[in-house]
Structure 1
Amino acid sequence: MAEPFKNLINPRTVAHAGAHLQRVWPGFECQRFERQAGHGLDALEFKARAMQLADALEATLPSDFATACDLLEASLAPPLPLDAQGEPIALAADRQDEGLAGWVVWSMGEFVARRGVNGDVPRALACLHALTQRFSAEFAIRPLIQQHPGVVLPTLAEWASDPSAHVRRLVSEGSRPRLPWGLRLQALVADPAPTLPLLRVLQDDVSAYVRRSVANHLNDIAKDHPDLVARWVDEHLRGAAPQRTALLRHASRSLIKQGHAPTLAAWGLGLGLQGEAGLSLSTDHAAVGDDIGLHVTLRSTARTTQPLVVDYAVHHVRANGGTSPKVFKGWKLALGPGELRLLEKRHSLRPVTTRTLYPGSHRIDLLVNGQACASAHFELLP
């Protein structure tokens, strides 16, 4: 059985942090820190463990914020190296005596955010600049953005040209409006304009690590401002190099699945299928835990090749008896003039944590360039 994710923060993590903090400050109350950070750790889930470790830092680091930041920075390992694609490489076990890096830095960033949000914001940002090069400060910087945008956003604009890819990624990842696990930046949800100049600078970054964050940031914006992202794609796709094209496609993924017409048009997918489409299923009855086969036929009546994105929407039965659609990725293809294409796929009906499957009649719509072209039904058994 795989090790539970929460065990990435464990008693060894606590002891390691205490040892390095005492190394840089002999007066550090290491035993008190370990006792508080490690209390009842086994019963806590992952985020709760990180927050308890941050509580222990608050209780044991100096009350002077600048001094506390000095100590945190001194306890750090060298910045995490990057591979040839610009992706971070975790600190090797035989190098952990060099200082702190990895998940423990989440708790350190939380401490900086708590103390810094109502204190010395520039000193907090300087510390996060160091911390993010050993893990990520994407969670910690968000309260500072929320409370002090006039200070933080100009700093992020400077960091967009920082020599460190870790720091450049923080510019995009830390300011994402809807970062998973992170504080929602409601002002940027309502109006993402302040971060657009940052994304414009970073979308051609040499590091794939940074570019992927930009794509996810744009995908966040698309949830509330789909037409804005469609215009962004249309503008920046023209003459784009392959790396930028890949970024924009990843940024468009949710809008393409939703059949958002302006986004499809930006990708040359604005026209519906010129021809006929059919959808049949391998069975008309299935049980939870099974899978079901989709058989698709596409016949072109066009005189030119058609670029097509073929997805499908399953209308799941809800607890109240209604239905709600969920779009699943299918195929991307070029359908030649007069061509008949057969496509097959298995769709899993196994339960997942994000969706409960209820019995009843389910409809599957075949979506070609965002338009429903064919449908089929099956009964999900209790």
Structure 2
Amino acid sequence: MKDIFSLALICEIAAEFRAVDISFDADAFIARSMEGLNKLELTGRAAHIADAMRVYLPVRFAEAAAVIDASLGPELPPTGKIGGAALRYMPHVLFVRKYGLDDYEAAMRVQAELTKRFTAEFSIRAFLVKYPERAYEQMLVWADDDNAHLRRLASEGMRPRLPWAPRLRAFQHNPRPVIELLERLRDDPVPYVRRSVANNLNDIAKDHPELVIETCRRWAQEAPEGRTWIVRHALRSLVATGNQDAIRILGGAANPSIRLSGVAIAPQRVTLGGNTRVSFEVVSTAQQSQRLLIGYTVHFVKANGSSRAKFFRLRTLTIHSGEKIALSATMSLATMTTRRHFPGNHRIDAIINGEAHPLGNFEVITSMSVPA
């Protein structure tokens, strides 16, 4: 992933700047950007290029932002899939975050355009900290915008626990302003936006579970399909920890009468970058039908050898007396932008209406040994 920030891309960025600003020294920018680049990882490379932008773009931030704005390519479709091509704008976003804080108006204008090509969720947080009231009012405006990227930024940028970003302590302490904004987006027509709303509520639930329970209980009443999905996804962490209020909102049975059979994990030894698959059967031992919220937790090994649990939803279903339902899931050990994997013993649990049922273990190794 880090290799996207290469000589070829830096030359492209330089050409784009040069096309809108004939005074831009493309050769010097390229040389400066390439100094020490190969020693850096993904974010470090983007920050390094952003620092080179600071040297060769106009000194006044408003003028630099105008060059960036004029150099941008077409908007992304509002699908939420930010691929490698969109990552090319990470240096631009980091430039705004680091060098644009003293020019609020120009920074907000260019972030509104950048988020349509990549995402400004990381840079906007610095403005929410420095200009809390003013930036919050802008987020409310964007929440009502016709552009789905801006509506999504209004939610994603205000997540108290956004991954890869400093926490927004003010909203972590008092998330009610965030809830007020999310009320405007709860029936958004675009799944990309609704997913951000659900993730935001899931963040808030880690510090204020009762507030999220209250919100989701209210939202679940006569909810259209899109909002029902938000509620289900927003409550996932609370369901995984056995919160009975969350389980009841989703229609789950308390203390379901079930047993598991046919558990299999294959392969049980998997190389980094590979896949393994878990399968099991849920058998009802109750005399009546039961509503089950079924997922699984993988206890991923971290770099220091400890583990971190991550919950994945599987299915929500009704199981009848004596019925057996087969379930399976494939787990990828490929490196992602949001998750790295490490060798070691990984535990898997089925989570059914908040109750953990051990499924077994699989071992992640660096490579398969080949017999001599």
* Normalised TM-score (structure 1): 0.79
Q: Does 1:11 align with 2:7?
A: yes
Change (3 A) 1:34 1:215: same
Conservation of the 8 A alpha-carbon contact between 1:269 and 1:369 = yes
The one-letter code of the counterpart of 1:111 is F
Task: Look up the match of 1:191.
Answer: 174
Match in the other structure for 1:310? 294
Structure 1 segments unaligned to the other structure (5+ residues): 92-100
Using the TM superposition, give the Cα deviation of residue 134 of structure 1 relative to its aligned residue in structure 2, in angstroms: 2.1
Tell whether the 8 Å contact from 2:296 to 2:349 is kept in structure 1 after alignment: yes
Question: By how many angstroms is 1:326 displaced?
Answer: 6.3
The corresponding residue for 2:41 is 45
> What is aligned with 1:357?
344
Question: Are the structure 2 counterparts of residues 317 and 137 from structure 1 closer, same or farther at C-alpha, using a change threshold of 3 Å?
Answer: closer
Give the aligned length: 356
Tell me how far apart the structure 1 counterparts of residues 28 and 304 of structure 2 sit (CA, whole Å).
Answer: 52
Q: Evaluate the alpha carbon distance shift between residue 90 and residue 342 of structure 1 in structure 2; reply closer, same or farther with a 3 A threshold.
A: closer
2:217 pairs with 1:225: no
How many angstroms does 1:46 deviate by? 1.0
| Paired amino acid for 1:162 | D
AA of the residue aligned to 2:19 = R
Q: Which residue of 2 aligns with 1:27?
A: 23
- The 1:197–1:28 alpha-carbon spacing in structure 2 relative to 1, beyond 3 Å, is same
The alpha carbon displacement at 1:381 in A equals 12
Map 1:337-348 → 2, pairs under 5 A: 338-343=321-326, 345=328
- Residue 258 of structure 1 and its aligned partner are, at CA, apart by 2.1
Alignment of 1:116-265 (within 5 A): 116-117=100-101, 119-265=102-248
Distance 2:137 2:169 in 1: 19
Residues 22 and 268 (structure 1 numbering): CA distance in 2 closer, same or farther, change over 3 Å? same
Q: Is the 8 A contact 2:244 2:254 kept in 1?
A: no
Alignment-derived partner of residue 87 in structure 2? 103
Distance 1:356 1:228, change over 3 A: farther
| Partner SS state of residue 154, structure 1 | helix
Look at both structures and tell me which one has the larger radius of gyration over its CA atoms: 1
Separation of aligned partners in 2, 1:319 and 1:42: 23
Paired AA for residue 92 in structure 2:
M
8 Å CA contact 1:297–1:341 kept in 2: the answer is yes
* Correspondence 1:370 to 2:359: no
In the TM superposition, residue 294 of structure 1 has moved relative to its aligned partner by 5.8
Aligned residue number for residue 368 of structure 2? none
When residues 265 and 12 of structure 1 are mapped into structure 2, their CA distance, relative to the original with a 3 A threshold, is same
> What's 2:55 paired with?
59
Q: Percent identity?
A: 32
Q: Is the Cα–Cα contact under 8 Å of residues 300 and 335 in structure 1 kept in the other structure? A: no
Distance 1:114 1:346, change over 3 A: closer
- Residues 95-150 of structure 1, C-alpha deviations (whole Å, 9 max, x = no match): xxxxxx83332211221222222x12122112211222222111111111122212
Secondary structure of residue in 2 paired with 1:272:
coil
**Residue type at the aligned position of 1:18:** A
> How far did 1:287 drift?
6.0
Contact in 1 for aligned 2:270/2:362 (Cα 8 Å):
no
Corresponding position of 2:318 = 334
Q: In structure 2, how many angstroms separate the alpha carbons of the residues matched to 1:50 and 1:381?
A: 31
- Normalised TM-score (structure 2): 0.81
User: In the alignment, what sits opposite 1:301?
Assistant: 286
Specify the SS of the correspondent of 2:122: coil
Alignment of 1:83-102 (within 5 A): 86-87=78-79, 102=86
Deviation of 1:347 after TM superposition, in Å, equals: 8.2
Counterpart of 1:207, as a letter, is: V
- Single out whichever of 169-178 and 342-351 deviates more from structure 2: 342-351
